[in-house]
Structure 1
């Protein structure tokens, strides 16, 4: 039900802006893109069933949209985990919103051991969060280094896709996730997670397409927000 409300509000916001505020038709696509980014973010990260909680005090930066540490671990098999002691400290820093020192620690890990697959992914995520969700050149480099170590692994491209979505580059993210799933084995770690998120992204792209055509968004393809 919450999904229907969110999509309805997005459609209402579009209609109100266009008809009440007389938005020029040339700007409709920009407005749709902005609404689509919000819908995609809600689709991929929202947990409407969780109770509210007071804002934590003493945190220097905003918390990430989702627990990047926990998701990273879910996407890795136990034998793919980093053996570096610093990664535990870096994860704690990330959860405190201290992304720059976390990225610096992780950079020292990958500098000492360029074969540390998990450290490269963690470094890329810390850099993205430090840049407020922007996929910077160093973050992209970190994800690519991880992908070179394990070309068929889902984790590097999963986080790359999330970063692309946060910048409104949803079609690129869809391509990245689709290609990764096609290359990964059926028993690849995290396959169910990436497949579900790709399904949600496809639902959002379908909803945006319907909005652009002026038709009501399809409710049948809306993802279940209570799922993992």
Structure 2
């Protein structure tokens, strides 16, 4: 039945073009040939019997960590005036639309280039867009925020997080340790920072143990070689 409908639609389209749009007679044959060519192409590649399978945009599959958004909001309440832009960017980030959020933040920064909160948020969206990889653009955004507001806890925290995700544990620890040392005792993010720093220390210790075990392991002769005792 699907093919019947397709042929009927093709005939109707041709009829509309001839009788309604007044297609010249000299163009009837080429128009009919074009319609048949389209139908034949669908016949070769189309699968009308298959169920629909709509797919979400690629970025939607990478939903943001809601904890990190809340963390940034706690850290960035007093270092800028771009809250309306941040609300929109956060909404896009929650849906995994990191690229769109980055574009919003770039426009906001163009209007408020000295807003440290906007630069921190931009760094986060750039890191999210690359699945946690610290790119030069993200590092520049974090460093720009740190230069604008040296007391802002966001740049060292989120830069350290990106470095840790990239395996640069020692660099991440240095940033977090310095941030913890200067954080007020009642800072809302202090407890989370301490917990993350402890987990990072455990990871560094495990990494050191693994490296020591590999370095202390006896050399294994290549397959096919004879030992010195034989």
Sort the TM-score into its range (normalised by shorter chain): 0.5 to 0.7
After TM superposition, the structure 1 = structure 2 runs for residues 3-18 of structure 1, keeping only pairs within 5 Å, are none
- Does structure 1 retain, via aligned residues, the 8 Å contact 2:63–2:95? no
Structure 1: 5+ residue runs without aligned partners? 1-56, 216-228
Structure 2: 5+ residue runs without aligned partners? 1-54, 215-230
TM-score by length of 2: 0.61
- Does structure 1 retain, via aligned residues, the 8 Å contact 2:98–2:126? yes
Equivalent-residue separation in structure 2 for 1:130 and 1:100 (angstroms): 6
After TM superposition, the structure 1 = structure 2 runs for residues 169-188 of structure 1, keeping only pairs within 5 Å, are 169-188=168-187
Task: Report the alpha carbon displacement of residue 189 of structure 1 after superposing the two structures with TM.
Answer: 4.5
- Does structure 2 retain, via aligned residues, the 8 Å contact 1:82–1:116? yes
Give deviations 1:139-178, integer Å, cap 9, x for gaps.
1111111111221332111110111111111111111111
Give deviations 1:58-117, integer Å, cap 9, x for gaps.
2422325622322211334x4446444222111111111111111011011112112222
- How many residues were matched structurally? 158
Aligned counterpart, 1:71: 71
What secondary structure, in the 3-state scheme, does the structure 2 residue paired with 1:214 have?
Answer: helix
- Does structure 2 retain, via aligned residues, the 8 Å contact 1:154–1:191? no
Aligned counterpart, 1:98: 97
Aligned counterpart, 1:203: 202
Which protein is bigger by CA-based radius of gyration?
A: 2
Between 1:146-155 and 1:168-177, the stretch displaced more is 146-155
Structure with higher RCO (Cα < 8 A, 6+ apart): 1
RMSD of the alignment, in Å?
2.2
Equivalent-residue separation in structure 2 for 1:193 and 1:64 (angstroms): 21
Equivalent-residue separation in structure 1 for 2:190 and 2:83 (angstroms): 26
Aligned counterpart, 1:118: 117
